Chain A
Amino acid sequence: GAGVSQSPRYKVAKRGQDVALRCDPISGHVSLFWYQQALGQGPEFLTYFQNEAQLDKSGLPSDRFFAERPEGSVSTLKIQRTQQEDSAVYLCASSSRLGTAGGFGEQYFGPGTRLTVT
Chain B
Amino acid sequence: GENVEQHPSTLSVQEGDSAVIKCTYSDSASNYFPWYKQELGKGPQLIIDIRSNVGEKKDQRIAVTLNKTAKHFSLHITETQPEDSAVYFCAASRNSNYQLIWGAGTKLIIKP
Contacts and interface: CB of A to CB of B under 8 A. Distances in A.
Contact of B102 (A44, A56, A104, A110): A44
The prevalent SS among residues of B at the interface is loop
Size class of the A contact interface (CB-based, 8 Å):
20 to 34
A101 B41 contact: no
Given A93-B43, A101-B99, A102-B51, A40 B104 contact: yes
A65 B105 CA distance: 26
A90 to B, nearest CB: 11
B43 A101 contact: no
A4 B42 CA distance: 11
Contacts of A40: 104-105
Interface in A15-69: 40-45, 48, 56, 59
A111 interface: yes
Interface of A: 4, 40-45, 48, 56, 59, 91, 93, 99-102, 104, 106-107, 109-112
Please give me the 9 A-B residue pairs with the lowest Cβ-Cβ distance, nearest first: A42-B102, A109-B43, A101-B93, A101-B98, A102-B95, A45-B99, A106-B46, A101-B32, A42-B89
Interface of B: 4, 6, 31-32, 41-46, 51, 89, 91, 93-100, 102-105
